Chains A and B, each alone.
Chain A
Amino acid sequence: MSERRSQLFGVMGEFSTPESLLAATKKAREAGYKHVEAYTPFPVEGLSEAVGFKWTAVPLITLMGGVGGGLTGFGLQYWVAAITYPINIGGRPLNSWPAFIPVTFELTVLGASIFAVFGMLALNKLPQPYHPVFNVERFAQASTDKFFLCIEARDPKFDLVETSKFLQSLHAQHVNEVKDEE
């Protein structure tokens, strides 16, 4: 699309333990970097707070899915049994709500689960087959046993040379430029 063949996405440092990555991430934030992302092969406690991520909407989305599912479930049954297709059986009440609880419950769980999963994927912007970090060859280890810290080029404090030096000062094992190829 653009004339530039590739542009800089950021600089990435590699660490071999979750502790060293966590410490480095905290230092990077203290040094004033804002657009920082850490990549790990398993969830590391405290890391999302360290990159400056505080709040996720997943529980709220799940709640909405659950409430929506439950209301749909009960509403559907009420509408069918009492309004559109009423059947009088010995004068029993049409809105026999206790009998509607199982389906209401199931649809509550179904709605909440679907919203939880697809909400999580949507917030994570997945599926996303291409991302610049995949251009770093060593990044394949991020799903096995290596821990990466990426300081992104859009950060106001970013400077290729300075930031690379900074990462080296945090004892990153390999420091690589991350190219975004368009």
Chain B
Amino acid sequence: MSAGDTPVNSPEIRRLARVLEPGHSYESVTDKIASIVLTRPVSIGWLAGFSIAFTLMMVLMGSIAWLITKGVGIWGINIPIGWGFAIVNFVWWIGIGHAGTLISAILFLLNQQWRTSINRFAEAMTLFAVACAGIFPLIHTGRPWMAYYMFPYPSTMGIWPQFRSPLIWDVFAVSTYGTVSLLFWFVGLLPDLATLRDRAKSRWQQVIFGVLSLGWRGSARHWHRYQSAYLLLAGLATPLVLSVHTVVSFDFAVGIVPGWHTTIFPPYFVAGAIYSGFAMVLTLAIPLRKAYGMEGFITLRHLEQMAKVMLATGLIVAYGYFIEFFMAFYSGNKFDVFLAKQRLHGPYAPFYYALILCNILTPQLLWFKKVRRNIPALFVMSLIINTGMWLERFVIVVISLTRDFMPSAWGRYSPTVWDYATFVGTLGLFTMLIFLFVRGLPAIAISEMRELVHEDSHGSEGHS
């Protein structure tokens, strides 16, 4: 950031660089965040939003029930397109989760202060996104009640999983990711649950938060071990989050299908995951800060930083698209060349162009500070990027499967109403969980905000 004529320490620069509105005390941040959970009455807006999300969640339940009754034939999948929406949605959801871990672990290790007020709900977003993602491969197996076959257990049939298969790696990667995210989230919540326990007025709140806080009392010895464990978890979650989408990309890259069998997939999938995840954090943060008056905690600086991360990861994704094309022609492999041309001229070309528009062209507007500081524009941008990232997975899954080596094996794919219902249903499930979360648990890490107040009052803030 070039300061131009403005001295670096001018009040203007300090105001823009703030990650916390001035004038807050330990008490005021605690009060403001805890009151949403403890005392604030349920608003009409919350109820309306929750009802819509709940209804959509019921659509998901209905779709899954019908799927289990009839089988995967109710979807548009068939040979040669066995994957379809289920895998598109799986990859999309799991990618969204990655931003939460990035914010909570990687930015923590890099000592980025601006992560503090967004890490808690970004982690919650991770958990809920992983929950939505996990549904898809499970129901896509056709017989979800047999899903335990994927785990290595001594069965009377004497068979074992094939550990050389990326699909089994996926089972381990996603279940580890879900577990570690949950542990990380809970450890972060522990001191805040104790705060809620101490401030709760009604008996049932005291009991619930009392049980959940495990008797946390904030002694110096507790904090010491706590910080040690938290730092280690951040260090462990960092390679984990990179490994998860790498393994997801192996599901494709290890197969010899044209358009999938490339070495660019792991880094480009990870970048895409972070890209879509930050877009989702913005989609959630912008209404949340408005609805609960959190503009002092989630400041314009946070939104701008997230926009910058989106711009950077978006460029990596653009590089990935370019290299896919370059390698297809550079290798001279006729199937790869054919597939690259299919993306541009095939029956699904409109999806490819829409993807380029959403993921590469539109985000270039983020180069402008005016756009990064324009909240409605950022919100729209985040929705566009989420759409673009969904289209990316659609293009990868569908175009390659409809056009493989022999014309006799070509096909078409069109989703049915049940494909859409299941997808929209998981959006409902996700939104419903977010609604429950913001009222049931502190959406911003209170103890970390108090630390921020402490640092702020000692003038050590400002290293961005």
Contacts and interface: CB of A to CB of B under 8 A. Distances in A.
User: Are the chains A and B members of one assembly?
Assistant: yes
Given A40-B220, A62-B232, A102 B152 contact: no
A88 interface: no
A106 B243 contact: yes
Contacts of A140: 198-199
A58 B172 CA distance: 25
Contact of B223 (A47, A109, A116, A131): A47
A111 to B, nearest CB: 10
Contacts of A23: none
Given A38-B219, A47-B220, A102 B250 contact: yes
Contact of B26 (A66, A76, A119, A145): A145
A16 B394 CA distance: 57
Contact of B225 (A76, A110, A124, A141): A124
Main secondary structure of the interface of A (DSSP, over half): helix
Contacts of A127: 214-215
Contact of A113 (B30, B180, B243): B180
Contacts of B456: none
Interface residues on B, range: 35 or more
Contacts of B158: 85
Contact of A81 (B159, B164, B199, B229): B164
Contacts of B194: 143
B238 to A, nearest CB: 10
Interface residues on A, range: 35 or more
B169 A80 contact: no
B450 interface: yes
Interface in A102-126: 102-103, 105-107, 109-110, 112-114, 116-117, 119-121, 123-124, 126
Interface of A: 18, 25, 37-44, 47-48, 50-51, 53, 56, 58-59, 62, 66, 76-77, 80-81, 84-85, 87, 96, 99-100, 102-103, 105-107, 109-110, 112-114, 116-117, 119-121, 123-124, 126-131, 133-134, 139-145
What 4 A-B pairs are tightest by C-beta distance, nearest first?
Answer: A145-B26, A120-B229, A127-B214, A48-B224
Given A127-B215, A133-B217, 16 more contacts: A42-B447, A42-B448, A56-B225, A59-B232, A76-B152, A100-B163, A103-B163, A103-B169, A109-B237, A113-B233, A124-B226, A126-B214, A126-B216, A129-B211, A129-B215, A145-B450
